[in-house]
Every structure is written in C-alpha cells, then in structure tokens.
Amino acid sequence: MPLQRDDLYSLEYYAHIRPDFRTRVMAHKKQRQVAIGAHATLYFEDRLTIQYQIQEMLRAERIFEATGIQDELDAYNPLIPDGSNWKATLMIEYEDARERHTALACLRGIEDRVWVAVNGCERVYGIADEDLERADATKTSAVHFLRFELTAPMAAAMKAGAELALGIDHPDYSFQVQAVVAVREALAADLA
C-alpha cells in the first residue's frame, strides 16, 4: 500500500524520534538484505524502508510544503512491493575508486542478470530501472532498482516456507546464494 502524507512525520517530530526510528529501521533492513558475492548486495524494500528514505529526504532537503512532500511520495512509492512482487535496490560496491570504475565497465548489463528462484520454481529475473536508464555504452551504474514479479504458486510456496536462491549470472560476475530463514520470512511477508 502506497504511503500517504498522513503516514509521514512532521520535520519537528521526526527530529525528536529519529534516533529510535533509525535504530528500528536499521534492524529491520538487516533482515532484508542479501549479499551476492563480495561486491553486490540486494536490499529489499518495503513500506517501512521507503518511509525511512522519504523521511530522510524531507529532513535533508528541509521539505515541508505539501507539493514537495508529494513529489517525494511520487518518487519513492513505486519502490514499495505491491503483494505480487519484491522490489530491491542493487548496490555494486567496490571500496577502491579505480577498481570500481574498471568493474562497472566490465559489468555492463549486470542489472538484467539478477534473479531469484523459489524452490521448485523457475528463476525470475529482475526488471531493472523502470524509472530511468542507469547504464550507458561504457559502464553500468553502481545502483539499480529491480522488480521481481512472482507467480501465485511462487508466493504460496514462499508463505509455506520454501527455500529461496538468489543470484547473478553475468559473464564477469556469477554467484548464487541461499537466503537465510529471516530473509525468507521477511520477503514472504511482502506477498499477498
């Protein structure tokens, strides 16, 4: 369910509760992230993670007018799963700037090679960057937004406790991992 203005805290109130809210969100996010190899991590979004992102944007930009708040809601609400999918931020992370630059050139198209597989079902490849293109002719971006559309049987299997594999099958970056129970439970809760 999309966030509305009434779901957000005022800047003044948010300043008051921010430390506790941030602690709660960070603990919540730990159950929603999966490292795929040493340099790629999927951060699965939900209503709480997106509320936090919006609150932080409003705080950082000192946005308090209705139109500005609505602009942030319009920008971030599409990242909330709608019951039949998972939405995730893919971060490609290299500490060394030169190594990152070289890797992003080699990893062009990686955003289209990220998949999830519910045990007993086919792989579902993420639909990348529906809002705007984040790659060009020479490199990919270090950040991509992915949507994984699941079938009803996949959702039912997840709710019944099925195993979940996640992976990337890019020629220059190929890894597969199994989601831990806490991640599987968090993601199953996103499904209708």
The predicted pLDDT at position 27 comes to 96
Alpha carbons 2 and 47: distance in angstroms, whole number = 7
Alpha carbons 76 and 169: distance in angstroms, whole number = 28
The predicted pLDDT at position 143 comes to 92
Residues 8, 52: contact at Cβ < 8 Å? no
Model confidence at 105: pLDDT above 80: yes
Alpha carbons 126 and 123: distance in angstroms, whole number = 10
pLDDT band at 139 (very low <50, low <70, confident <90, very high): confident
Alpha carbons 177 and 103: distance in angstroms, whole number = 21
pLDDT digits (tens, 9 = 90+) for 59-76: 999 999 999 999 999 999
pLDDT digits (tens, 9 = 90+) for 38-57: 999 999 999 999 999 999 99
Question: H/E/C letters for each residue in the chain?
Answer: CCCCHHHCCCHHHHHHHHHHHHHHHHHHHHCCEEECCCCEEEEECCHHHHHHHHHHHHHHHCCCCHHHHHHHHHHHHHHCCCCCEEEEEEEECCCCHHHHHHHHHHCCCHHHCEEEEECCCCCEECEECCCCCCCCCCCCCCEEEEEEECCHHHHHHHHCCCCEEEEEEECCEEEEEECCHHHHHHHHCCCC
The predicted pLDDT at position 130 comes to 76
pLDDT band at 134 (very low <50, low <70, confident <90, very high): low
- What residue segments make up the domains of the chain, in order of their start? 1-30+47-80, 37-45+82-192
Model confidence at 100: pLDDT above 70: yes
The predicted pLDDT at position 132 comes to 64
The predicted pLDDT at position 126 comes to 96
Mean pLDDT of 169-187: 97
CATH of domain 37-45+82-192: 2.60.40
pLDDT band at 148 (very low <50, low <70, confident <90, very high): very high
The predicted pLDDT at position 102 comes to 94
